[in-house]
A and B are shown apart, each in its own frame.
Chain A
Amino acid sequence: MGARTRRIKDMGAEELDVLFQERIDANDKIEPRDSMPEEYRKHLIRQMSQHAHSEVIGMQPEGNWITRAPSLRAKKILLAKVQDEAGHGLYLYSATETLGISREELIEKLHQGKAKYASIFNYPALTWADMGAIGWLVDGAAITNQVSLQRTSYGPYARAMVKICKEESFHQRQGYEIMTSMANGTAEQKEMAQDALNRFWWPSLMMFGPHDSDSPRTGNAMKWKIKREFNDVLRKRFIDKTVSQAELIGLTIPDKDLKWNEENNSYDFGQIDWDEFWSVVKGGGPCNVKRLKHHKKAHKEGEWVRKAAAAYAQKHSSK
């Protein structure tokens, strides 16, 4: 950017915004100590903490099945996956903290209901087949979104996404493997697999968020390259790659309007129930209350561990 004779601290807000946008337009990555508009920082804190909370709350529906996994192999895999989700949450909390907000504040906002997490986790995991559907569809949708976010403009977020994407592909494959073995199993098992697909298909499509025309923050997110692709584009991409995976294992996508469109080289699909989406976002999903209550409980129960560790460190540092 050549020699700059004036220091950034001497510039006015407007001038700074112009400079910032120039950096974004030049595909510069923004780093924690760089100057950035307050709205950019706020947008990132909201999006990244929501993302972190989703990883952590996402452990609940799956954690619920660890003790009931059908084999030792399945149990080990599920444990590793849930541990990964905890790890992803921590990568993201750590990246969010670089924006000058503490972990405590982030958790506090979640507990107060001011920060959200992905609505998909407000649906219950009723059968073992749901472990398959979640890995295959929920992680599949998440990967589609996160691959795009590897190019997000905030450096720490982009780097966390790169690491998360590498790990997510194991998640999706283990889920698809569960679905495949159930779809190839007894009639009853196949029915369970189909039932899980039926319940998770539409909520998975909702994971990409509302139509861009109904998404008030899309404008700034695209301008600042926090978001790199539109919700509807990502959703379509996910559908296009998932349909044949369902067909391959003999399962049917629960959408009577799903049809290959030769002209667009893509699938046409039915209407998403946006009333359901907004109702779950606003707290009306089957498990909203349960998920948050459980998080608060776990956090409270861990308090003595945090205190003990602090006391131990204090004791040893004063020696």
Chain B
Amino acid sequence: MWEVFIQTKKGLPFKHFGSVHAFDKEMAIQNARDLYTRRGEGKGMWVVPADAIVAVDPNNDASFFEPADDKIYRHPTFYELPDGTKNM
């Protein structure tokens, strides 16, 4: 099983489209082309063996992303600017 990522326009990020079955990488990329880009959806394509993807398990670690919540000073809206500040 291979996961398929497609770039729909040059310059845009690659996006997950789905998966295909294939025995090797050539077959994976052929199958992915036939399956996911029949109407010119693709300018670029990655196929990745599904078991090579490492993912966060939301079941066991819902708090994984929480450290970001208490660092609000990372957001520009945290800062107070004097009235009349422009172009910032």
Contacts and interface: CB of A to CB of B under 8 A. Distances in A.
Partners in one complex: yes
Interface of A: 3-4, 7-9, 31, 33-35, 80, 83-84, 87, 90-91, 94-95, 97-98, 103, 156, 159-160, 167, 309-310, 312-313, 316-317
15 contacts: A4-B62, A4-B63, A7-B61, A8-B59, A8-B60, A33-B55, A35-B58, A35-B59, A87-B34, A87-B38, A94-B19, A97-B1, A160-B18, A312-B24, A313-B23
B23 A310 contact: yes
A7 B20 contact: no
> In this complex, which of A80, A84, A91, A317 has the most chain B Cβ atoms within 10 angstroms of its Cβ?
A91
B18 A95 contact: yes
Nearest to B69: A3
B38 A91 contact: no
A91 B34 CA distance: 12
A34 B59 contact: yes
A159 B20 CA distance: 15
Interface string B40-77: 00000000000000010111111100100100000000
Interface of B: 1, 18-21, 23-24, 27, 34-35, 38-39, 55, 57-63, 66, 69
Contacts of B63: 3-4, 7
Nearest to A312: B23
A34 B56 CA distance: 10
A97 B50 CA distance: 12
A91 B18 contact: yes
A159 B35 CA distance: 15
A312 B22 CA distance: 12
A87 B63 CA distance: 38
Contacts of A87: 34-35, 38
A87 B60 CA distance: 35
B72 to A, nearest CB: 14
A94 B20 contact: yes
A33 B57 contact: yes
A102 to B, nearest CB: 9
A42 B88 CA distance: 53
Given A3-B69, A94-B19, A97-B19, A9 B60 contact: yes
Contacts of B38: 80, 83-84, 87, 167
Contact of B35 (A90, A316, A317): A90
Given A8-B59, A317-B24, 20 more contacts: A3-B63, A7-B62, A8-B58, A9-B59, A31-B58, A33-B57, A35-B58, A80-B38, A90-B35, A94-B19, A95-B18, A97-B19, A98-B19, A103-B21, A159-B18, A167-B38, A312-B23, A313-B23, A313-B27, A316-B24
A95 B21 CA distance: 12
Contacts of A34: 58-59
Contacts of B58: 8, 31, 33-35
